[in-house]
Amino acid sequence: MGWTAWVGYQARETRDRNAERYLQWRGRADRTPRTSTREGMTNDERRRIYGGAALAVLAVVALLAFFAGS
């Protein structure tokens, strides 16, 4: 659940960086300096990553409870 959101986020960041490098190579990049071209995570990606982390924590707690009970 969270892994697919993370992979999608990383792929989008890589695509954006490659597009900016290509424009710089072609000489068509914007000459004004930018601090960052990152957009950040979308709300859906953030929600999926938080959900995946919550499920991972739940799985660890369930595993510990299983070992404690047996």
Among candidate residues 47, 63, 60, the one with its CA nearest the CA of residue 4: 47
Domain presence at residue 59: yes
Which residue segment(s) compose the domain that 47 sits in? 2-30+41-69
Domain presence at residue 36: no
Domain presence at residue 35: no
**Count of C-beta atoms within a 10 Å radius of residue 1:** 14
Rounded distance between C-alpha atoms, residue 33 and residue 59, angstroms: 46
What is the pLDDT, as a whole number, of residue 38?
67
Phi/psi of residue 32, each to 5°? -75, 130
Tell me the pLDDT of the chain (70 aa) as tens digits.
889 999 999 999 999 889 888 888 888 877 776 656 567 888 999 999 999 999 999 999 999 999 999 8
Q: What is the pTM (predicted TM-score) of this model?
A: 0.68
Total structural domains in the chain?
Answer: 1
Domain presence at residue 12: yes
